[in-house]
Chain A
Amino acid sequence: MVDIVVWVVLGLLFVHVVLPSDPQKFARRVDLDLASAPADRVARRFAWRNRGIRIGGSTGIAAGAAIAVAVDLRGDQGPDLGPLLVLGGAMVGIAVALLHSSSQSLGPLPADEPRIARTSVPVVGDYVPAAESWLTRAAVLLGIVAVVALVLVTTAGLVDVSPAAPTVLVSALVALAAAGALVGVELWSRRLVDRPQPAGSVQELAWDDALRAATLRDAVAAPLALGVAAVAMAFGILADGAQSMPWANAVVAASGVVFWVVLLGLLTFGLVSIAVKPDRHFRRRLWPELTPTAPAPTDGTR
């Protein structure tokens, strides 16, 4: 129980202090100029975004912690699922809140001001790097496969865990939630990208793209986190349940190998991802020639 409290505190620090972004830092990350942007509209978008991260993240953490406590109170033996549930809950809560806040309208632009629009039709791939999308799908698939394997192994009695044990049920629910979150995020992403982007200047449209990209990439983190959590839970339960079996060493070793392969894969992906600056993916796709302080076009041609 104390462990869960520690993870909840860490999670709350993460969503209240680390994740909320400062417009200036964000501008540097995406290489856009804040000074030439419509300050009030960008500030309002940031306020919504940060509020979504805080409220959604806190709610998700509370839900994850509640499930972890419920499993813990039953007194069943098994690995500690608290950290994974808190992490998964935070990511799902943030994704739901961000996708909801992204549907809020900033109100109409002044009717007598010039308006701009692009002639191309952006797609989700213009905002989210393909590698991130595929990694998320792979993680969810891996999570489902791992949980199915866990259910089969427990049903066959190869480990000392009942297939109806709360830990097994929770891991199955997490895998299902990962699949649901993946479908939901992909559908909602398309809807978000199809929404109008009223803008009075190139900078305003570029900022809208930047915030869209950030929202979509944050949302993708939810199914990714749940998929990884499902894999970790399944192998944790397997390793724990094999302790009293003759093949305990083999199962623990196999679980360890899978754990390190997944961890190293994620770390490698993270490093490569950071190296190619995914925050600027939308810039490369939609604004390859935009300089941070580009003036708005006056003749409508670019």
Chain B
Amino acid sequence: MLAIDPRSATPPYEQLRVQVIAQITSGELAGGARLPTVRRLADDLGLAANTVARAYRELEADGFIETRGRGGTLVRAQGDHAQVAVQEAARAYAARVQALGVSAADALRYARAALEG
């Protein structure tokens, strides 16, 4: 179930994006599950179609969902793609660390602090 609170400080598209990710990573939304169309979800949640489309675009860019034209919007095989997305982020982080000349030990310490903080 998705819930959008218009009084929240978090923009609706971000509320939507975070909730879909939470459901995918928790396994509630399995890989291959079909998501509602942009228009249907926008009507259900009282949002502009652009808002839902933006959330879907970002979810697709992060590898959580994929759009297959007439086949609709599907959840991508969840665990693997989340892991892939995190690994890609880690690679980007490592490249940045190296470019800045920061030691690996320090970079790991910063990453652990960020994860645990």
Q: Contact between A196 and B44 (Cβ–Cβ < 8 Å)?
A: yes
| Bitwise interface map of A from 162 to 205 toward B, beta carbon under 8 Å scored 1, else 0 | 00000000000000000000000000000000101111001000
- In the assembled complex, the CB of B56 is this many whole angstroms from the nearest CB of chain A, namely 12
Select which of B1, B28, B33 is within 8 A of A202 by beta carbon.
Answer: B1
* Chain B residues positioned under 8 Å from A76 (CB to CB): none
Q: Which among A115, A121, A298, A299 is the interface contact of B45 at CB below 8 angstroms?
A: A115
Are A119 and B4 within 8 A (Cβ)? Answer: no
- Whether the pair B46, A108 counts as a contact (CB closer than 8 A) is yes
A18 on the B face (CB < 8 A): no
Knowing A115-B45, A119-B1, A119-B2 are in contact, say whether A300-B40 is a contact too (CB < 8 A): no
Nearest A residue to B20, CB-CB? A119
Q: Is the Cβ of A111 less than 8 Å from the Cβ of B46?
A: yes
Specify which of A119, A120, A121, A301 lies most central, judged by the most chain B CB atoms within 10 Å of its CB. Answer: A119
Q: How far is the CA of A43 from the CA of B3 in the complex (A)?
A: 24
- Kindly identify which residue among A109, A119, A197, A198 contacts B35, using a CB–CB cutoff of 8 Å: A119
Would you call the interface of chain B mostly helix, strand, loop, or mixed? mixed
A3 CB-CB contact with B under 8 Å: no
A109 to B44 alpha-carbon distance, docked (Å): 10
Contacting residues, chain A, for B23 (C-beta < 8 A): 119, 301
**Which one, A108, A114, A117, A199, contacts B41 given CB within 8 A?**
A117
CB–CB A301/B46 < 8 A: no
Q: Which of B20-38 contact A (CB under 8 A)?
A: 20, 22-23, 26, 28-29, 33-36
- Say yes or no: is A28 at the interface (Cβ < 8 Å to chain B): no
Contact B35 A114 (CB under 8 A): no
Residue A112 at the chain B interface, CB threshold 8 Å: yes
A74 at interface (Cβ–Cβ under 8 A)?
A: no
Q: What residues of A have a CB within 8 angstroms of the CB of B5 in the complex?
A: 114
Q: Closest CB of chain A to B88's CB: distance in Å?
A: 25
B89 CB to nearest A CB, Å: 23
Within A56-75, which residues are at the interface with B (CB < 8 Å)? none
- Chain A residues lying within 8 Å of B41, measured Cβ to Cβ, are 117
Query: What CA separation (Å) do A113 and B3 show in the bound complex?
Result: 10
- Residues B6 and A113 in contact, CB atoms below 8 Å apart: yes
Alpha-carbon distance between A119 and B35 when the two chains are bound, in angstroms: 6
B67 within 8 A of A: no
A184 to B78 Cα, complex, angstroms: 39
Of A112, A121, A196, A300, which one neighbours B2 at CB under 8 angstroms? A300
Min CB gap B38→A, angstroms: 12
B19 contacts A by Cβ under 8 Å: yes
Inter-chain contact A109/B46, CB cutoff 8 Å? yes
- Is B112 on the interface with A (CB-CB < 8 A)? no
Q: Is the CB–CB distance between A117 and B22 below 8 Å?
A: no
B51 within 8 A of A: no
Asked whether A116 lies within 8 Å of B40 as measured between CB atoms, the reply is no
Binary A-proximity of B79-97 (CB < 8 A = 1, otherwise 0): 0000000000000000000
In the complex, chain A residues whose CB is within 8 Å of the CB of B2: 116-119, 300
Shortest beta-carbon distance, B76 to chain A, in Å?
Answer: 14
Q: How far is the CB of B25 from chain A (nearest CB, A)?
A: 11
Q: Is the CB of B3 within 8 A of A116?
A: yes
Residues on A lying within 8 angstroms of B by beta carbon are 108-109, 111-121, 194, 196-199, 202, 296-302
Known contacts A109-B46, A119-B23, A301-B22, then 19 further A-B pairs from the complex at CB < 8 Å, ordered by chain A residue: A108-B46, A111-B46, A114-B3, A114-B4, A115-B6, A115-B45, A117-B1, A117-B36, A117-B41, A118-B1, A118-B44, A119-B29, A119-B33, A119-B35, A121-B35, A196-B40, A198-B43, A296-B3, A300-B1
B: which residues have CB within 8 A of A?
1-7, 15, 19-20, 22-23, 26, 28-29, 33-36, 40-41, 43-46, 72
